[in-house]
Structure 1
Amino acid sequence: MVTGDASYIKRINRSLIISEIVKHRMISRADLSKAINLTRATISAQVADLLEEGLIIETQLEHNTVGRKPIMLSINGQAGYALGIDLDYGQISFTLSDLLGIPVTSAAIELNTTDYSEILALLIKQINQYKAEFSESRYGIIGVAVAIHGLVGKDETIHFVPRFKWKDIQLKNDLENKIDLNVFVENNANLSAYAERVFFHHDTENLLCATLYSGIGLGMMINNQPFKGHDGFAGEIGHMIVVPEGKQCSCGNKGCWELYSSESSLFSYLTEKKQVSHLTYKQIQQWLDDGDQEVAELMKQALYYLSIGLNNLINIYNPEVLVLDSELLRMNPASLEIVKNHLHSSVSHYRKLAISSIGKESSILGACALAIKHFLDVPILNLAHERE
């Protein structure tokens, strides 16, 4: 019989209990015992500790049946707060959520520099302001997670951010040395995939999320774990070649997928073709509504090339769920059927193709969820999105 250290077993049991409470939102001790097959004595001892720590709360459930009113356990959302940061070219976005992943406050700051030292100072200032503002809660800020639009290694080193021209940046260490909080640094597409799994697709172990904004990135959840590849660089799928000897890409290759299907490529083309500065989604929608044939044909072509890339992804990964994160697709939900109609290979298998309902908030909400996961020390989270 294999035995383990008592403290290790206690930690595992604690993780199981917290995970189940998060999953059910509210659950009784008796149902908790049945769900994870632990004795009531073990449940009672662990629950007592969690109550004392302020991580969970008790609620007496009101009902009309005869008998004792059940006492329900739930996570104390206000015990602490997670800070998610989306560090993008031209803007830094901040979202603070409670321990249930519910956003409490959000803000965005215009970024007029790419200088690392200036951006680091700005991040430190903003984080310390949040830290001071929420210091009266039991655990204050429980962690900070930063979404990076570039290559992030398994050790959380930022190896390359194309639009900032950053190489081998130690943002995690630099922040932790100044703010005295746990900091996590992750690629934005990985965090988008994590958010989709955590907030919506709870029954999915294998999920892909393709983000189509400034390029095309791919976040992958395989067996409920982020898939990052050997160095952590997996998911740079925008540089998959879909048109041999096609358009020249900044990566050095020709015919990369993101040159044909990303929103940035479409925006660049229309900005030049239509001679419009500060092009917006609303303007593109207006052109489509007005029956502009050139814009309609461009969208049709983008969906065609999108389908080519998706067909490759499906054949490689055989995902349960494939989520497309694109504002243009959300504006035109009929686009999803057009894409599906292009996926007619007899060997392509997936359970569900969906447009993200979270949108551009996905990476920052994924950042909040990542910080919560580490704080609660659980393998996976099942949180309810506020729009549900």
Structure 2
Amino acid sequence: ENKITNCGIAKSTGGRHSVLYQINPDVFYAIGIDLQVDRMICVLTNSIGKIISTREVFLQSKDEWYVINTLNQTIDELSAANHIFLPDIGGIGIGVPGIVQNSTGLIEFAPNLGWQNVNLNQLLKYDKPILIENEANAAAIGEKALGSAGNIANMLYISIGAGIGCGLMLNNRLYTGHSYHAGEFGHMTVDPNGVPCHCGNQGCWEAYASNNATFERYNQIATEKIHSYDDFLEQVLQNNSQATAVLDTTVKYLGIGIANLVNGLNPEMVIIGGKITAIKDQVYHPLLKQIKDHCLNKAYSGFTLEFSQLKNQGTAIGMASIVIDEVMNHDNTLGNNA
């Protein structure tokens, strides 16, 4: 199969006609996975990033062996359902809510999963490149690839889920920090004497503004308790007064945290992703007001607030993009005939 294909003749400018080439879009396929606390979201793309298929799988446990087995099974099923087999797959990318060593596949610390020092490269069964990245970093890359940030050089992506993760793009490059731990803004302190966080500290931003924090705060005051954050979203959409009051508190803490980041980082755009996008109409203007109230005028006037338009697929899309980039840059056979 040709890995480079002829796609036409360029318009002549007086000399010889130039032949145009492009990567064969089906020369390999990429699998991107967003591993969350309660589910995994998977996308299968071709070699130019076009999404071929998606799959969402709910997890019944956070036990690492259960999750590993579910990952293996889901990758097999997604590939087989699309008549794509292991030799056709360029690599597998997995976004994880925690601190990772992407060079080794080691998940150093994922507090909301309860994982520490888990190496996915060693545990998954595939003899293919397996690339690991923090889920918010991957989502930032997904927003650059297919989302709202295509032309934005300096952007902050905020992932709101069981915790809060952030991916930071500076001058069109993902900023990872000295030891690849940058972006853990969910664990910046907003109240030094505040509520305990899963990380072991007190008063972390995500302990006040994450989905888990919102869900727990609602059940503390609710006339009828709910079973999930999805139930909370439904109460907000039904204009439940208790849910609205709890949402106001969440928005207050979100706004304070984002204002701190806008003041310190001066991004062109802040993109919010996660289930909260389902109530963006209720959140957008109150959140923007909170940010403005706590921001320096110059910093506030220079940025745009967006909610992700990639639904729940930003991290998975970003991981597929990372796989494609890795294969394109390191596969020496590209450009030759197979």
Deviations 1:32-86 (A, max 9, x none): xxxxxxxxxxxxxxxxxxxx8424441579xxxxxxx997654432222101122
CA 1:108/1:60 → structure 2, altered by over 3 Å: closer, same or farther?
Answer: same
> 1:172 is aligned with what amino acid?
N
User: Who is 1:361 aligned against?
Assistant: 313
Determine the C-alpha separation between the residues in 2 that align with 1:352 and 1:179: 41
Matches within 5 A, 1:98-109: 98-109=46-57
User: Who is 2:154 aligned against?
Assistant: 206
Alpha-carbon contact 2:112-2:198 (below 8 Å) kept? no
> 2:318 is aligned with what amino acid?
G
Give the C-alpha shift of residue 257 in structure 1: 1.1
Matches within 5 A, 1:193-232: 193-200=140-147, 201-232=149-180
User: Who is 2:85 aligned against?
Assistant: 135
- Gap runs ≥5 in structure 2: 11-16, 331-338
Aligned partner (choices 159, 163, 170) of residue 119 of structure 2:
170
Give the C-alpha shift of residue 236 in structure 1: 1.4
Over the aligned positions, Cα root-mean-square deviation in angstroms equals 2.9
User: Who is 1:377 aligned against?
Assistant: 329
User: Who is 2:191 aligned against?
Assistant: 243
Give the C-alpha shift of residue 115 in structure 1: 3.5
- 3-state SS, counterpart of residue 212 of structure 2: helix
CA 1:130/1:55 → structure 2, altered by over 3 Å: closer, same or farther?
Answer: farther
More helix by share: 1
Give the C-alpha shift of residue 279 in structure 1: 3.6
Matches within 5 A, 1:5-24: none
Task: Single out whichever of 52-61 and 347-356 deviates more from structure 2.
Answer: 52-61
User: Who is 1:351 aligned against?
Assistant: 303
Identity among equivalent positions (%) equals: 25
- TM score, norm. by length of structure 2: 0.82
- 3-state SS, counterpart of residue 359 of structure 1: coil
- 3-state SS, counterpart of residue 252 of structure 1: coil
More strand by share: 2
User: Who is 1:269 aligned against?
Assistant: 217
> 1:370 is aligned with what amino acid?
I
Matches within 5 A, 1:238-317: 238-274=186-222, 275-279=224-228, 281=230, 283-317=231-265
- TM score, norm. by length of structure 1: 0.73
Alpha-carbon contact 1:220-1:226 (below 8 Å) kept? yes
- Gap runs ≥5 in structure 1: 1-51, 62-68, 379-388
Give the C-alpha shift of residue 372 in structure 1: 1.0
Determine the C-alpha separation between the residues in 2 that align with 1:111 and 1:58: 44
CA 1:329/1:171 → structure 2, altered by over 3 Å: closer, same or farther?
Answer: closer
Give the C-alpha shift of residue 312 in structure 1: 0.9
Give the C-alpha shift of residue 353 in structure 1: 1.5
Q: Which has the larger radius of gyration?
A: 1
> 1:328 is aligned with what amino acid?
I
- 3-state SS, counterpart of residue 67 of structure 2: helix
Tell which has more relative contact order, 1 or 2 (C-alpha 8 A, sep 6+). 2
CA 1:163/1:328 → structure 2, altered by over 3 Å: closer, same or farther?
Answer: closer
Determine the C-alpha separation between the residues in 1 that align with 2:272 and 2:50: 23
Give the C-alpha shift of residue 370 in structure 1: 0.8
> 1:276 is aligned with what amino acid?
K
Give the C-alpha shift of residue 125 in structure 1: 4.2
- 3-state SS, counterpart of residue 343 of structure 1: helix
User: Who is 1:47 aligned against?
Assistant: none
User: Who is 2:25 aligned against?
Assistant: 77
Deviations 1:272-321 (A, max 9, x none): 4333343454x545544554332222222211211110111112211121
> 1:192 is aligned with what amino acid?
A
Alpha-carbon contact 1:128-1:179 (below 8 Å) kept? no
Deviations 1:144-166 (A, max 9, x none): 00111121025332101224432
Give the C-alpha shift of residue 186 in structure 1: 0.7
- 3-state SS, counterpart of residue 323 of structure 1: strand
